[in-house]
């Protein structure tokens, strides 16, 4: 007998390009090779001790469910964090989610029916493809180009892609995988477009603290004319190096939309209870000093990346402005093949470097084949070694083709 049918959704969902090389990495490790991981946005920065202390002091006999919208302490602490950037939001405009991932999925599902469209700018965070498949939403990609630092194309190009099925424009700012930070003028243009077309602006701002060279990141929450159309999706994964806490949040001032999010939240009961106490403690206690030391650490790593790779033959990228990623054009025809080869065929003194091929960060077929994404999440010495190995690997790979 044949197997029962698997859904079209299940058949068509993409494998994450960040994780799909994992079996090759496991084989390399079995052969005794160590790996520098520049493929995944897993920071090496210690999770603040405030997190662990708060989790420990909230241990009780029963690990119980919490409120679907999230515990009040955390929602209040998030409002406090925003008030330090002069952004005023109320706790009932914040819902806690199971990671930023759930915040994006809920946002797509709250504003779209199956088959509806969301405009986004590629390259984009690759899991948007998977989230869109889960939500049965069509992502309509508009390509941003490395030549202008992956900033937005002209407004006419954006409006020309709006159809009667378009429900939202989705941005990731600062951007994963490019490190680009949108200017206020770009956000204002988007605000005008969503207003005149009566659609939403969904902003994934999980990297909002990481802006380099004295830049200021602007949240869409600061653009008052779009209060009812703005949805921010956020996370503590990167902000406090707490990826395993699985906590994020949604912010919207649109109370009807918030009540939909809360019903979605009720359907999955609640976000992780213990992590929320830890997150609330971090939001309350991590000051501007914490953020400026983390930002300067990432900025140094960005500078090492620039120093090691910029100007190398066939390599092209502009200086990333924030987050901790760069999308880099390299002189190969197929970066899937190259990144796999780095794991199967190349090492120096028992080490190799793992990077993510960029194709899965695009929705347009064939785009990104000559690009990789680097996450600069390792300390300075490891960054230097990892990039030396990458450069040598690239040379040998090209010579062998």
The tokens 């199956």 sit on which residue? 114
Q: Is 174 in the site for ligand PLP (CB under 6 A)?
A: no
Q: Is 122 in the site for ligand PLP (CB under 6 A)?
A: no
Q: Give the CA distances from residue 31 to residues 28, 320, 354, 386, in Å, rounded to whole numbers and listed in that order.
A: 5, 35, 15, 19
Taking CB under 6 A as the criterion, the residue among 125, 131, 283, 346 binding ligand PLP is 125
**Least distance (Å) from ligand PLP to the CB of residue 225?**
25
Which stretch, 94-102, 110-118, 253-261, 376-384, contacts ligand PLP (CB under 6 A)? 94-102
Q: Is 105 in the site for ligand PLP (CB under 6 A)?
A: no
Which stretch, 87-95, 99-107, 215-223, 377-385, contacts ligand PLP (CB under 6 A)? 99-107
Taking CB under 6 A as the criterion, the residue among 93, 180, 235, 347 binding ligand PLP is 235
C-alpha angle 137-244-53 in degrees, rounded to nearest 5:
140
Q: Identify which of residues 180 and 237 has a Cβ nearer to ligand PLP in the complex.
A: 237
Rounded to an integer, what is the distance from CA 124 to the centroid of its chain? Answer: 8
Rg (CA), the chain: 21
Tokens of 272: 């992780």
Tokens of 375: 């996450």
Tokens of 309: 């790779």
Taking CB under 6 A as the criterion, the residue among 248, 278, 322, 357 binding ligand PLP is 248
Are the C-beta atoms of residues 129 and 363 closer than 8 Å to each other? yes
Burial classification of residue 19, based on how many CB atoms lie within 10 Å of its CB (0-12 exposed, 13-18 middle, 19 or more buried): middle
Q: Is 17 in the site for ligand PLP (CB under 6 A)?
A: no
**Least distance (Å) from ligand PLP to the CB of residue 231?**
13
- For residue 152, give the 3-state DSSP assignment: coil
Of 81, 89, 96, the residue nearest 248 (C-alpha): 96
Q: Is 67 in the site for ligand PLP (CB under 6 A)?
A: no
Q: Is 106 in the site for ligand PLP (CB under 6 A)?
A: no
Q: Is 172 in the site for ligand PLP (CB under 6 A)?
A: yes
Taking CB under 6 A as the criterion, the residue among 28, 33, 181, 206 binding ligand PLP is 206
C-alpha angle 88-91-94 in degrees, rounded to nearest 5:
90
**Least distance (Å) from ligand PLP to the CB of residue 347?**
27
Are the C-beta atoms of residues 245 and 51 closer than 8 Å to each other? yes
What's the rounded Cα separation, in Å, for the pair 351 and 355? 13
Of 258, 127, 287, the residue nearest 200 (C-alpha): 258
Q: Is 221 in the site for ligand PLP (CB under 6 A)?
A: no
Tokens of 56: 């420990």
Q: Is 144 in the site for ligand PLP (CB under 6 A)?
A: no
Q: Is 100 in the site for ligand PLP (CB under 6 A)?
A: yes
Q: Identify which of residues 278 and 393 has a Cβ nearer to ligand PLP in the complex.
A: 278
Of 103, 172, 113, the residue nearest 138 (C-alpha): 113
Which stretch, 76-84, 162-170, 235-243, 252-260, contacts ligand PLP (CB under 6 A)? 235-243
Q: Identify which of residues 15 and 228 has a Cβ nearer to ligand PLP in the complex.
A: 15
Indicate the pairing of strand 248-252 with strand 94-97.
antiparallel
Q: Identify which of residues 206 and 257 has a Cβ nearer to ligand PLP in the complex.
A: 206
**Least distance (Å) from ligand PLP to the CB of residue 304?**
21
Q: Is 286 in the site for ligand PLP (CB under 6 A)?
A: no
Q: Is 99 in the site for ligand PLP (CB under 6 A)?
A: yes
C-alpha angle 189-191-192 in degrees, rounded to nearest 5:
65
Q: Is 179 in the site for ligand PLP (CB under 6 A)?
A: no
Are the C-beta atoms of residues 255 and 244 closer than 8 Å to each other? no
What's the rounded Cα separation, in Å, for the pair 397 and 401? 6
Q: Is 68 in the site for ligand PLP (CB under 6 A)?
A: no
What's the rounded Cα separation, in Å, for the pair 240 and 50? 10
Q: Identify which of residues 87 and 243 has a Cβ nearer to ligand PLP in the complex.
A: 243
Taking CB under 6 A as the criterion, the residue among 21, 36, 38, 41 binding ligand PLP is 41
Q: Identify which of residues 17 and 99 has a Cβ nearer to ligand PLP in the complex.
A: 99
**Least distance (Å) from ligand PLP to the CB of residue 197?**
24
Q: Identify which of residues 120 and 387 has a Cβ nearer to ligand PLP in the complex.
A: 120
Tokens of 117: 């469209």
Per CB under 6 A, residues contacting ligand PLP are 41, 99-101, 125, 172, 176, 204, 206, 235, 237, 243, 248
């Amino acid at each position: 007998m044949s197997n029962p049918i698997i859904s079209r959704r299940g058949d068509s969902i993409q494998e994450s390009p960040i994780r799909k090389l994992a079996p090759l990495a496991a084989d390399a490790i079995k052969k005794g090779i160590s790996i520098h991981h520049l493929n995944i946005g897993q920071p090496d920065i210690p999770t603040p001790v405030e997190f662990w202390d708060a989790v420990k002091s909230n241990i009780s006999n029963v690990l119980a469910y919490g409120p679907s919208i999230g515990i009040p302490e955390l929602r209040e602490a998030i409002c406090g964090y925003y008030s330090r950037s002069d952004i005023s939001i109320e706790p009932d405009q914040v819902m806690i989610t199971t990671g930023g991932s759930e915040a994006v999925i809920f946002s797509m599902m709250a504003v779209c029916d199956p088959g509806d469209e969301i405009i986004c700018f590629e390259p984009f965070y690759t899991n948007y493809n998977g989230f869109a498949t889960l939500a049965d939403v069509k992502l309509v990609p508009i390509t941003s180009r490395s030549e202008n630092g992956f900033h937005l194309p002209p407004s006419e190009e954006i409006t020309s892609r709006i159809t009667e099925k378009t429900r939202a424009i989705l941005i990731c700012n600062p951007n994963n995988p490019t490190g680009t930070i949108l200017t206020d003028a770009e956000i204002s243009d988007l605000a005008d477009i969503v207003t005149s077309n009566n659609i939403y602006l969904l902003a994934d701002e999980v990297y909002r603290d990481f802006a380099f060279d004295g830049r200021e990141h602007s949240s869409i929450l600061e653009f008052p004319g779009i209060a009812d159309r703005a949805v921010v999706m956020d996370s503590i994964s990167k902000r406090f190096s707490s990826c395993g806490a699985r906590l994020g949040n949604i912010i919207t001032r649109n109370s009807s939309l918030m009540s939909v999010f809360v019903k979605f939240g009720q359907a999955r009961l609640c976000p992780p209870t213990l992590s929320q106490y830890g997150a609330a403690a971090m939001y309350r206690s991590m000051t501007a000093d914490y953020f400026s030391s983390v930002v300067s650490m990432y900025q140094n790593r960005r500078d090492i990346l620039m120093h090691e790779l910029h100007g190398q033959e066939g390599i092209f990228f502009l200086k990333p402005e924030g987050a901790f990623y760069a999308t880099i054009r390299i002189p190969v025809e197929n970066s899937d093949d190259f990144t796999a080869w780095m794991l199967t065929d190349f090492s120096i003194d028992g080490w190799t470097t793992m990077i993510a091929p960029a194709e899965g960060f695009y929705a347009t077929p064939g785009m990104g084949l000559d690009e990789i994404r680097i996450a600069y999440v390792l300390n300075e010495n490891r960054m230097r070694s990892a990039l030396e190995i990458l450069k040598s690997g690239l040379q040998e790979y090209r010579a062998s083709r």
